[in-house]
Amino acid sequence: MSYNKYKQTAVESANREKLLLMLYEGAIRFTKRAVIATENGNIPERCENIGKAYDIVLELMNTLDFKVGGEVAENLEQLYMFITDELTRANLTGKSEHLQNVLKILETLYDGWKEAVEILKKKDSKGA
């Protein structure tokens, strides 16, 4: 089985929580690649990876449910807007400090969601 087929199968069979974590993992991975490309002066690679991270963050923003999420969804939207602004600044200026800001936020959010998913799994296993 090819790697792309494996990735497709993994995404198609993942639950919502796993998909959320996978999106964060992708955004973090592409942001890290953009940092490396920036440090190496590789503009095309920097732009490509920033674009991929940007697209993932837009997808995260598009999936926010304000009716269910309320204030949490509003706060996440503000963070996502800040992240997209920082990614744009990084792309325009070539400064990795903007990418470092993005990375800190994404990693913090990822850790928080990962912990929340673990708590949810524990509750589900006790209730089953």
Tens-digit pLDDT profile for the chain (128 aa)?
554 554 454 545 568 889 999 999 999 999 999 999 999 999 999 999 999 999 999 999 999 999 988 999 999 999 999 999 999 999 999 999 999 999 999 999 999 999 988 888 887 777 65
Supply the pLDDT for residue 81. Answer: 98
Assigned token pair, 12: 């198609």
Tell me the pTM.
0.84
Whether residue 48 contacts residue 30, with contact meaning beta carbons closer than 8 Å, is answered with no
Domains and CATH numbers, the chain: 17-127 (1.20.120.340)
